[in-house]
Amino acid sequence: MFSVAPKIITPLNEIRVKAGTIIHADVSFVGEPTPQVIWTVNSNPVTTDSRSTITSIGYHTVVHIVNAKRSDSGNYHLKLKNDSGVDEGDLLVTVLGKSHNILLGFLTKFNDICRWNVIF
């Protein structure tokens, strides 16, 4: 049996999506034996829940997140590891949302009105 160090094949290009849509990253790799696949986002493990799944079958790994939220934005780090070595890569995900305008105001002790338009 031969051994091959892991290598990410698919380019890890930045992903930009609108809030409420789908984040989907499908990454191909090589390595013998089949490497262990570890995904983290902002240094925390990526977990499977009602909106997100992580699948690793054969020489592919997929991160799929539905109803994307701004909080899903971040640096997604993929680490592949086997007895012959390690390969790592980063995938920047940005979830774009609507900006919100809020008008703030108050009355001063001199009955002047102060207003700010806050955009976030």
pTM above 0.95, yes or no: no
Q: Report d(CA 12, CA 27) in Å as an integer.
A: 8
The low-confidence residues of the chain, meaning pLDDT below 70, are: 1, 98-120
pLDDT at 98: 64
Handedness of CA 98, 69, 44, 86 (dihedral sign): negative
What pLDDT, in 10s, does the model give residues 14-28?
999 999 999 999 999
Residue ranges covered by each domain of the chain: 4-119
CATH architecture of 4-119: Sandwich (2.60)
Q: What is the pLDDT of residue 97?
A: 85
Residues across the chain: 120
